[in-house]
Structure 1
Amino acid sequence: MVTIKICFNSNKKGQLPTGTFEALKNEVTKRLSAKYSDLKVDINWGTQDNLSIDGLGKNEKKTYIEETLEEIFNDGEWLPEIQEAEVEYFDK
């Protein structure tokens, strides 16, 4: 089983739109599950940004997964839209 673990620095809480983890997990699964049918994707908060890839075969390289993840992050189409908060202004 190939396991991809993505950790975001907890200092970024509040900077990412609601639903980012789920949207990222769905996009990674969509793009990689054809090649890795036993894929598991975990996304959490941590003390620093981190990526780990485990479970590849002896001669398999992480390059394909890393390049795909880079494409996903650069694309950004998968990101949920930021909901504009309704703000009231008081002139007094």
Structure 2
Amino acid sequence: MDKLDTAGIQPHTQRIERFLVTTMTFDCVRIQLLEYCINIQHKEKGDENMIRIEILFDRQSTKNLKSGTLQALQNEIEQRLKPHYPEIWLRIDQGSAPSVSVTGARNDKDKERILSLLEEIWQDDSWLPAA
């Protein structure tokens, strides 16, 4: 199998070349091509640098929140994170269990920084709506 042409791909996405090593088994080749296609689709969508944050509250917790709290939280997160991470997809909603998920960070250090900023926001009550 010939190496796929990745010349038109931006340098930061050329990491996919490591997946394109010629292998002897059909399954490995198929997996490599699938990973290549996923990376290309990611590039085409333009969201390869997008941070995705999902914060879910359980239904019981949201019953006790003041009206407008979730919207205020979303506004505060966007205001504080956008200067550092301009591409953010943020979802704050109800779920069956509380959770916080951060994906799309470039590395573990970035992810820890984002989680730390989220914790600071949560502990700072200045963004909470007035009664």
- Counterpart for residue 74 of structure 2: 25
CA–CA separation in structure 1 for the residues paired with 2:128 and 2:118: 14
| Number of residues of Structure 1 aligned to a counterpart in Structure 2 | 81
- Which of 87, 92, 114 aligns to 1:43? It is 92
Q: Which amino acid letter does the alignment assign opposite residue 76 of structure 1?
A: D
Whose RCO is larger (CA < 8 A, sep 6+)?
Answer: 1
Relative to its length, the structure with more strand (as a share) is: 1
If each structure's helix is expressed as a fraction of its own residues, which one has the higher value?
2
One-letter identity of the residue aligned with 2:79: K
Q: Distance in 2 between matches of 1:72 and 1:53?
A: 15
Amino acid of the structure 2 residue aligned with 1:43: I
Runs of 4+ in structure 1 over 3 Å off: none
Instruction: Give unmatched runs, 5+ long, in structure 1.
Output: 83-92
Structure 2 segments unaligned to the other structure (5+ residues):
1-49
Identify the match of residue 34 of structure 1 among 52, 77, 83: 83
1:6 partner SS: strand
Distance 1:2 1:13 in 2: 25
Q: Tell whether 2:64 aligns with 1:15.
A: yes
- Identical pairs, percent: 37
Decide which moves more: 60-69 or 14-23. 60-69
Query: TM-score, normalising length from structure 1?
Result: 0.82
**Using the alignment, how far apart are the partners of 1:13 and 1:28 within structure 2?**
18
Q: Aligned partners of 1:34, 1:9: CA distance in 2, in Å? A: 30
TM-score by length of 2: 0.59
Whether 1:2 and 2:51 are equivalent positions in the alignment is yes
